């Protein structure tokens, strides 16, 4: 029997069900169109007048926010090209903690400009080469654009001017209220060398009720629950932290016990009781006044804890337990028993306070600089509090960025216009096809001031031309004024609108990288998704 020879052609090489798209029309333009859709979502959320998005994720949890990192995390993007952009912005969030929207909007604009060049007949490799040169040049230009520095990372006024801009972009109108709180919390935990500042040292506790004006900073750690025990306050206390439950130890093995009379029955449970009392007496005798557990507290254990006047608190989050270990200097123990001297922690004051109608437990170190500060956020709805938390998170990350690199750029889109202006003059001196890509890279940078103007309801074309005119006259700090009606420009340095250097530098690098990756794709080959055909639902099926 003769062997069946398959038909020639690419699709015959592979198993059935493979999809194959190639060339500019099918692969590149389709990818750019998908990314354009993604960019449109987050672009209207950029800047102080950014609109909120209402996202309901697959668990039916509602998010109302204009924070690009949150929007993108909760949207399950499955388009592979758009996913590349999502990954780039998530990396920006992980490394710098701010500027995620900048990455997406800028990369989307770069691709849109590239689409124009492709339609004009440039080859993708020419555009990639031009963008690479432009990005290198842009990062050189940005080095010389710093208009101010944070002279002292432990000075309140110096830090407030940076944090204010970061918070205004999320919670416009509340920056004057929230920025000093973030700075106060940061200075409480600022180490001797500011470069070692740890974002994790600032916690946020959200308590419903009150108004945003009741938000305050508490030195130390706040837990949103009251102690299990009757004792609710301890001073100059030794602290023991356990990850295991405070309860009678259960054996792994099974056994049958034969009990003949009532006295044997009583003695049987008495043995367990005396063993547990012995353990808790040991803990109390070692000088411990506060016991914290990451698991449950049994009824019987609670009885003995109260008898020995110990304060017992349940902390169910293992991250919070680790932070508490850092604050008190304790070691979390996995066994129940008296801790050794070096395993104990120490805390000046452990007390229960009432915040709003909720009773909370506070761990506070009075004398020495505390290793943790907590910002207690108050507000009317859960969504509002969540959004304030995101703004505070950005503020804290900006402090971290400034502690490592103290240069500041002009905000309000001024730095972007200045880079664009200088890049355009570079493009004019460049020979060959690269000049087109460099020009388009410069044009793409205009997207930030243009978006700021559009979101504020101003005429973006007019403002961009005014900005170019101002920058040409040497006003390098001229940015978009989102509040004025007539002039439309503002001096960013005078009004203290600053962007930290690190997030901006990082974002331009990330966005360019993602753009080049998307442009260098020329074929998409997709196999058939796994799983058989869908089972048909029988509408007339009777459960009984």
DSSP readout, 143-188? HT---EE-S-TT-HHHHHHHHHHHHHTTSTT-HHHHHHHHHHHHHH
Is 353's pLDDT higher than 60?
A: yes
70 and 19 together in one domain: yes
Q: How far apart are CA 392 and CA 199, in angstroms?
A: 11
Percent of the chain with pLDDT over 90: 3
H, E, C per residue of 60-82: CCEEEECCHHHHHHHCCCCCHHH
Q: How far apart are CA 448 and CA 413, in angstroms?
A: 6
Is 249's pLDDT higher than 70?
A: no
Evaluate whether residue 210 is within a structural domain.
no
Best CA proximity match to 175, nearest among 183, 161, 164, 188: 164
The pLDDT assigned to 512 comes to 92
Evaluate whether residue 19 is within a structural domain.
yes
Contact (CB, 8 A) for 148 and 181: no
Total structural domains within the chain: 2
354 and 441 together in one domain: no
453 and 522 together in one domain: yes
Best CA proximity match to 447, nearest among 438, 455, 437, 457: 455
The pLDDT assigned to 542 comes to 67
495 and 424 together in one domain: yes
Evaluate whether residue 74 is within a structural domain.
yes
Is 369's pLDDT higher than 80?
A: no
Percent of the chain with pLDDT over 70: 93
Evaluate whether residue 534 is within a structural domain.
no
Task: Kindly report the CATH number assigned to the domain that includes residue 309.
Answer: 3.50.7.10
| Mean pLDDT score, 34-56 | 87
Return the minimum-mean-pLDDT range out of 81-90, 317-326, 356-365: 356-365
Contact (CB, 8 A) for 18 and 11: yes
* Average pLDDT over the chain, rounded to an integer: 82
Is 11's pLDDT higher than 70?
A: no
What is the number of other CB atoms lying within 10 angstroms of the CB of residue 157?
Answer: 10
Is 121's pLDDT higher than 60?
A: yes
259 and 367 together in one domain: yes
Evaluate whether residue 194 is within a structural domain.
no
Query: In terms of residue numbers, what domain contains 331?
Result: 221-371
Task: Give the full edge-to-edge strand order of the sheet including 498-500.
Answer: 148-149, 407-410, 498-500
The pLDDT assigned to 486 comes to 62
Q: Provide the terminal-to-terminal Cα distance of the chain, rounded to the nearest Å.
A: 55
226 and 344 together in one domain: yes
pLDDT digits (tens, 9 = 90+) for 153-198: 777 787 888 888 888 888 888 888 888 888 888 888 887 777 778 7
Nearest 5°: phi and psi at 67?
Answer: -90, 115
Buried/exposed 327-362: b ≥16 CB within 10 Å, e otherwise: bbebebbeebebbeeeebbebbebbbbebeeeebbb
Best CA proximity match to 497, nearest among 407, 436, 413, 440: 413
89 and 140 together in one domain: yes
Burial class (CB in 10 A: 0-12, 13-18, 19+), 367: exposed
367 and 234 together in one domain: yes
Hey, which of 150-164, 274-288, 459-473 has the most confident mean pLDDT?
A: 459-473
Return the minimum-mean-pLDDT range out of 11-20, 500-509, 515-524: 11-20
414 and 362 together in one domain: no
Evaluate whether residue 514 is within a structural domain.
yes
| DSSP per-residue codes, 369-426 | PPS-EEEEEEESSHHHHHHHHHHHHHHHHHHHHHHH--EEEETTTHHHHHHHHHHHHH
Using the 3D structure, point to which of 321, 353, 371 is the last residue of a domain.
371
pLDDT-derived band of residue 1, with 50, 70 and 90 as boundaries? low
Contact (CB, 8 A) for 34 and 524: no
DSSP 209: B
Taking the CA atoms of 178, 179, 183 and 186 in sequence, report the sign of the dihedral they define. Answer: positive
pLDDT digits (tens, 9 = 90+) for 472-510: 888 878 888 887 666 678 887 888 888 888 888 889 999
419 and 356 together in one domain: no
Q: How far apart are CA 499 and CA 417, in angstroms?
A: 14
pLDDT digits (tens, 9 = 90+) for 375-388: 888 888 888 888 88
Using the 3D structure, point to which of 342, 371, 400 is the last residue of a domain.
371
| DSSP per-residue codes, 342-379 | GG-EEEEEEEEEEETTEEEEEEE--SSPPS-EEEEEEE
Residue length of the chain:
544
210: left (phi over 0), alpha (psi -120 to 50) or beta: left
Task: Kindly report the CATH number assigned to the domain that includes residue 69.
Answer: 1.10.560.10
| Mean pLDDT score, 80-108 | 88
Q: How far apart are CA 414 and CA 500, in angstroms?
A: 13
pLDDT digits (tens, 9 = 90+) for 161-172: 888 888 888 888
Using the 3D structure, point to which of 340, 371, 402 is the last residue of a domain.
371
Evaluate whether residue 214 is within a structural domain.
no
The pLDDT assigned to 18 comes to 79
Is 40's pLDDT higher than 70?
A: yes
347 and 470 together in one domain: no
The pLDDT assigned to 146 comes to 80
The answer to whether the pTM exceeds 0.85 is no
Evaluate whether residue 421 is within a structural domain.
yes
361 and 419 together in one domain: no
Is 331's pLDDT higher than 60?
A: yes
What is the number of other CB atoms lying within 10 angstroms of the CB of residue 25?
Answer: 10
Contact (CB, 8 A) for 51 and 454: no
Q: How far apart are CA 483 and CA 463, in angstroms?
A: 13
Best CA proximity match to 446, nearest among 475, 469, 471, 419: 419
């Amino acid at each position: 029997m003769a062997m069946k020879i398959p038909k020639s052609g690419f699709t015959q090489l592979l198993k059935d069900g493979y999809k194959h798209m190639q060339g500019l029309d099918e692969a590149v333009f389709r990818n750019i169109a998908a990314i354009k859709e993604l960019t449109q979502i987050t672009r209207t959320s950029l800047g102080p007048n950014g609109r909120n998005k209402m996202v309901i994720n697959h668990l039916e949890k509602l998010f109302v926010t204009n924070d690009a990192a949150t929007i993108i995390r909760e949207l399950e993007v499955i388009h592979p090209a758009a996913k590349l952009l999502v990954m780039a912005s998530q990396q920006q969030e992980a490394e710098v903690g701010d500027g995620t929207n900048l990455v997406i909007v800028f990369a989307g604009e770069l691709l849109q400009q590239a689409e124009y060049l492709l339609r004009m007949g440039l080859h993708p490799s020419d555009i990639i080469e031009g963008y690479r040169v432009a990005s290198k040049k842009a990062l050189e230009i940005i080095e010389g654009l710093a208009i101010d520095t944070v002279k002292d990372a432990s000075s309140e006024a110096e830090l407030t001017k940076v944090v204010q801009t970061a918070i205004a972009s999320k919670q416009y109108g509340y920056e004057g209220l929230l920025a000093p709180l973030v700075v106060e919390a940061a200075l409480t935990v600022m180490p001797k060398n500011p470069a070692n500042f740890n974002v994790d040292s600032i916690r946020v506790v959200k308590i419903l009720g009150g108004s945003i004006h009741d938000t305050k900073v508490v030195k130390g750690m706040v837990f949103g629950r009251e102690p299990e025990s009757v004792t609710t306050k301890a001073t100059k206390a030794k602290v023991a932290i356990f990850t295991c439950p405070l309860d009678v130890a259960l054996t792994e093995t099974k056994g049958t016990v034969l009990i003949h009379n009532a006295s044997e029955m009583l003695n049987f449970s008495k043995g367990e009781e005396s063993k547990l009392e012995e353990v808790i007496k040991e803990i109390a005798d070692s000088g411990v006044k506060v016991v914290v557990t990451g698991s449950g507290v049994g009824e019987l254990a609670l009885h003995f804890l109260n008898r020995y006047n110990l304060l017992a608190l349940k902390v169910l989050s293992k991250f919070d337990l680790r932070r508490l270990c850092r604050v008190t200097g304790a070691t979390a123990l996995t066994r129940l028993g008296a801790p050794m001297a070096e395993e104990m922690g120490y805390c000046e004051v452990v007390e229960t306070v009432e915040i709003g109608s909720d009773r909370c437990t506070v761990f506070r170190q009075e004398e020495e600089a505390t290793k943790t500060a907590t910002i207690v956020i108050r507000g009317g709805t859960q969504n509002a509090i969540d959004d304030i938390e995101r703004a505070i998170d950005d503020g804290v990350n900006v402090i971290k960025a400034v502690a490592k690199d103290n240069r500041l750029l002009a905000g309000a889109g001024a730095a972007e216009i200045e880079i664009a202006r200088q890049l355009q003059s570079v493009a004019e001196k460049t020979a060959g096809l690269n000049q087109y890509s460099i020009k388009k890279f410069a044009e793409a940078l205009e997207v930030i001031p243009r978006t700021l103007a559009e979101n504020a309801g101003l005429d973006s074309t007019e403002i961009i031309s005014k900005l170019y005119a101002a920058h040409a006259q040497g006003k390098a700090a001229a940015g978009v004024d989102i509040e004025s009606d007539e002039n439309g420009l503002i001096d960013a340095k005078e009004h203290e609108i600053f962007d930290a250097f690190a997030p901006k530098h990082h974002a331009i690098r990330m966005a360019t990288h993602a753009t080049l990756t998307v442009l260098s794709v020329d074929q998409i080959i997709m196999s058939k998704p796994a799983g058989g055909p869908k089972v048909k639902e029988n509408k007339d099926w009777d459960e009984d």
